[in-house]
Amino acid sequence: MKGRSVVGGLVLGSAALAGAILFVRTKSAAEGEHVDVYFGDGSMVSLQPGSAAGDRLLPLARRVLAAARG
């Protein structure tokens, strides 16, 4: 009985850990989304999702990715 609960606890703990890792990885990947625009004088503008320009450019980038990967 005690052995069963230990195994159950381990399975539950592993599942929770895996879920946490997946959550953090997905979140950090989503947070990494951006568009960096570079100009001739060396200046750069970084656009994040949520900004008007970022939300306009990211779907275009996704379309290029989709076209490339088919």
Partner 1 sequence: MVACPRMDAGQALADLTEISAQIETAVLAAHDGSVVASTVADDGKAKAMAEGAVELLSAAGDVRGEGGSEPLVQVEAATRDGSVFVVKDERHLVAAVTKSRPTVGLVFYDLKTCLRILEREEEAKASKATKTATRRRTTKKKETEAAGEGA
Binding flag, residue 27, partner 1 (CB under 8 A)? no
Q: Choose the stretch contacting partner 1; rule: CB under 8 A; options: 3-11, 15-23, 56-64.
A: 56-64
Using alpha carbons, select from 62, 34, 65 the residue that is nearest to residue 50: 34
Q: Per rule CB under 8 A, is residue 65 in the interface with partner 1?
A: yes
Comparing C-alpha atoms, which of 15, 57, 54 is closest to residue 31? 54
Residue 1 in the binding site for partner 1 (CB under 8 A): no
Asked if residues 5 and 24 have their Cβ atoms less than 8 Å apart, the reply is no
State how far the Cα of 32 lies from the Cα of 49, in Å rounded to an integer: 9
Q: Is 3 in the site for partner 1 (CB under 8 A)?
A: no
Residues near partner 1 (CB under 8 A): 29-30, 32-41, 43, 45, 47, 53, 56-58, 60-65, 67-70
